[in-house]
């Protein structure tokens, strides 16, 4: 029963309506036909026996009238005519001298199948009557009545009823299919539209149509999709703006670090150098001066490192590709993971998206260092159909199994990579198999001249 319920639940609505209505109609049809055939059979059965009796009577009267005058030729002729005109198969008359005069007809062929004959249940009838006029016997008359004709007629009616019911059911099924598929069409387009929204295409809208209720549902769906679309556009805009503000801040902090801190430290270093020269090689202050010199040098290096981490200055001067090549070398040096960057010929980068692209690669490499346990990572940048395609592939452990390629994550790195990609009207795909490393593919549109 449970299985049936599950199967029933999986069937389409039009099919369920068809099965439901079809079963009711078939039941009604069967009941109607049975009822009609049953009452027909009853009537025919009664009439068959009654008609046979009537025929026998009328033949007996005719024979007695003619036998009185001894007109046997006319009797024979009459028997022949009667057997042809009636439903009788055979009429026999035994005259007073014992002579048998009979007329037979090749009965009609039975068309109805055996089960129908049994259902109808009308058997052949043989009736006899003695002929007597004024106390004188003129023999006896026997008639054989065959129900074949009656059964065939009933069977014809039954077949006609069946064909009519089947035709009516077929027409009704066709109408149900057409009505339900018309009514469900908007629902199907809503499902298709919802699937497109699921894949990130929020521009999808459904053509209004169908009944009032369906039109209302479509209009609500369309306005919901429009709202989600505009909210996402706003979110992207905000994310972009935040990115710009963050980069501006990074830039100004890096500038301050470089100009003020770096400048002051350089001055201190020069001052200490002069002091060391003036104090002379063997002066007792010399060790202190030298340690201060070493301290200022290491602080200067630290400030440079911080400046570069906040925003590599070469990003503005040389562009993203040379910066990435430099960063790949730095990454190798710092982590010991071999990092190679390959640039396809003629590849250029959208100018206004350079920072975002750099940050995406930076986060991808940070993740390789933190999570991948890889020995090698390769970066490849190529131009494909007006799109910059950047691929970062490592040979590490791959993403944890519960984390799907494009699935949700609570950490921010992947989320911000995706946001940056979306802000550039591009997309970010992550593919990974446990034990086979991770590949991150960034696709960003560029115009004909290679800029955004
Ligand atoms: N190259 C990689 N190899 C293996 N696992 C990775 C790789 N990159 C990301 N992951 C997995 O994906 C998760 C999400 O990465 P994501 O950068 O979003 O977060 P995180 O690095 O853990 O934290 P943060 O928000 O500081 O970046 C990681 O925790 C890690 O499990
Ligand atoms: Mg991360």
Q: Domains in the chain, please, with CATH?
A: 12-175 (3.30.450), 318-452 (3.30.565.10)
| CB burial readout 319-330, b (16+ within 10 A) else e | ebbebbbbbbee
pLDDT for residue 405 is more than 60:
no
Report the residue among 411, 416, 428 best suited for mutation to probe ligand 1: largest number of ligand atoms under 8 A from its CB. 411
Report the residue among 366, 367, 400 best suited for mutation to probe ligand 1: largest number of ligand atoms under 8 A from its CB. 367
Strands of the sheet containing 136-145, edge to edge, are 100-104, 88-94, 136-145, 125-133
Q: Based on the number of CB atoms within 10 Å of its own CB, is 380 exposed (0-12), middle (13-18) or buried (19 or more)? A: middle
What is d(CA 233, CA 239) in angstroms, rounded to the nearest whole number? Answer: 10
Q: Based on the number of CB atoms within 10 Å of its own CB, is 331 exposed (0-12), middle (13-18) or buried (19 or more)? A: buried
pLDDT for residue 106 is more than 90:
no
Type and span of the H or E element at 313:
none
> In this structure, which residue's CA is closest to atom 28 in ligand 1?
371
Type and span of the H or E element at 346:
none
Helix ranges (DSSP H) in 311-433:
314-317, 320-335, 354-367, 412-423
Q: Could you give the percent of the chain with pLDDT greater than 70? A: 96
What is d(CA 20, CA 26) in angstroms, rounded to the nearest whole number? Answer: 10
| Mean pLDDT taken over the chain | 85
Contacts (Cβ under 8 Å, ≥6 apart) of 21: 172, 176
Q: Does residue 121 come out as left (phi exceeding 0), alpha (psi in the -120 to 50 range) or beta?
A: left
Contacts (Cβ under 8 Å, ≥6 apart) of 55: 82, 86, 88, 143, 145
List, for residues 317-348, the tens digit of each pLDDT value. Answer: 888 999 999 999 999 999 999 999 998 888 87
Distance 451 CA to ligand 2 centre (A): 28
Model confidence at 451, pLDDT cuts 50, 70, 90, reads: very low
Strands of the sheet containing 387-394, edge to edge, are 338-343, 376-384, 387-394, 438-445, 427-432
Tokens of 221: 């769906």
Confidence at residue 351, expressed as pLDDT on a 0 to 100 scale: 76
> In this structure, which residue's CA is closest to atom 5 in ligand 1?
399
> In this structure, which residue's CA is closest to atom 26 in ligand 1?
413
Confidence at residue 402, expressed as pLDDT on a 0 to 100 scale: 61
Give the residue among 420, 422, 424 at the shortest CA–CA distance from 359. Answer: 420
Distance 416 CA to ligand 1 centre (A): 12
pLDDT for residue 389 is more than 90:
yes
DSSP string, 219-239: HHHHHHHHHHHHHHHHHHHHH
pLDDT for residue 452 is more than 50:
no
> In this structure, which residue's CA is closest to atom 12 in ligand 1?
399
Tell me the mean pLDDT in the region 88-101: 82
> In this structure, which residue's CA is closest to atom 11 in ligand 1?
399
CB within 6 Å of ligand 1 — which residues?
Answer: 367-368, 370-372, 394, 396-400, 403, 409, 411-414, 438
φ and ψ at 235, to 5 degrees?
A: -60, -40
Atom of ligand 1 nearest to the CA of 416: 18
Ligand of minimum distance to the alpha carbon of 374: 1
What is the three-class DSSP state of 90?
strand
List, for residues 289-308, the tens digit of each pLDDT value. Answer: 999 999 999 999 898 888 88
Atom of ligand 1 nearest to the CA of 414: 18
Tell me the mean pLDDT in the region 96-123: 81
What is d(CA 442, CA 450) in angstroms, rounded to the nearest whole number? Answer: 16
Q: Please tell me which residue, 32 or 379, carries the higher pLDDT value.
A: 379
pLDDT for residue 155 is more than 50:
yes
What is d(CA 345, CA 406) in angstroms, rounded to the nearest whole number? Answer: 30
- Residue 156 Cα to chain centre, angstroms: 47
Distance 233 CA to ligand 2 centre (A): 25
Tell me the mean pLDDT in the region 261-267: 89
- CB distance 418 to 319 below 8 Å: no
List, for residues 356-369, the tens digit of each pLDDT value. Answer: 899 999 999 999 99
Tell me the mean pLDDT in the region 16-27: 82
Atom of ligand 1 nearest to the CA of 412: 25
């Amino acid at each position: 029963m449970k299985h049936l319920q599950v199967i029933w639940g999986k069937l389409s609505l039009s099919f369920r309506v068809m099965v439901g209505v079809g079963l009711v109609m078939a039941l009604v049809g069967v009941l109607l036909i049975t009822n009609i055939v049953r009452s027909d059979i009853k009537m025919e059965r009664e009439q068959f026996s009654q008609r046979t009796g009537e025929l026998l009577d009328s033949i007996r009267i005719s024979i007695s009238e003619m036998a009185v005058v001894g007109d046997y030729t006319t009797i024979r002729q009459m028997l022949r005519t009667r057997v042809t005109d009636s439903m009788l198969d055979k009429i026999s008359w035994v005259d007073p001298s014992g002579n048998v005069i009979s007329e037979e007809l090749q009965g009609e062929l039975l068309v109805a199948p055996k089960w129908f004959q049994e259902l109808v249940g009308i058997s052949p009838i043989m009736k006899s009557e003695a002929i007597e006029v004024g106390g004188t016997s003129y023999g006896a008359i026997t008639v054989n009545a065959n129900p074949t004709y009656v059964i065939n007629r009933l069977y014809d009616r039954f077949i006609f009823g069946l064909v009519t019911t089947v035709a009516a059911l077929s027409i009704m099924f066709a109408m149900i299919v057409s009505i339900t598929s018309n009514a469900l069409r908007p629902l199907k387009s809503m499902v298709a539209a919802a699937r497109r929204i699921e894949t990130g295409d929020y521009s999808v809208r459904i053509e209004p149509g169908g009944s009032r209720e369906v039109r209302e549902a479509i209009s609500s769906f369309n306005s919901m999709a429009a709202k989600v679309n505009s909210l996402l556009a706003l979110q992207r805009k905000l994310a972009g703006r935040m990115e710009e503000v963050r980069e501006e801040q990074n830039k100004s902090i890096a500038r301050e670090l470089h100009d003020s801190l770096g400048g002051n430290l350089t001055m201190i270093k020069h001052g200490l150098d002069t002091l060391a020269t003036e104090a002379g090689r063997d002066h007792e202050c010399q060790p202190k001066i030298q340690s201060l010199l070493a301290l200022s040098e290491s602080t200067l290096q630290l400030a440079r490192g911080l400046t570069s981490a906040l925003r590599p200055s070469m990003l503005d001067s040389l562009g993203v590709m040379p910066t990435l090549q430099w960063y790949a070398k730095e990454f190798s040096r710092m982590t010991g993971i071999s990092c190679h960057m390959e640039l396809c010929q003629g590849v250029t980068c959208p100018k206004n998206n350079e920072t975002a692209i750099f940050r995406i690669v930076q986060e991808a490499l940070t993740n390789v260092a933190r999570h991948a346990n890889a020995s090698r990572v390769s970066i490849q940048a190529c131009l494909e159909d007006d799109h910059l395609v950047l691929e970062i592939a490592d040979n590490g452990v791959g993403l944890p199994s519960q984390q799907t390629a494009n699935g949700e994550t609570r950490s921010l790195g992947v989320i911000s990579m995706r946001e940056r990609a979306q802000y550039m009207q591009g997309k970010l795909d992550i593919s990974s198999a446990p034990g086979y490393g991770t590949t991150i593919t960034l696709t960003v549109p560029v115009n004909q001249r290679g800029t955004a």
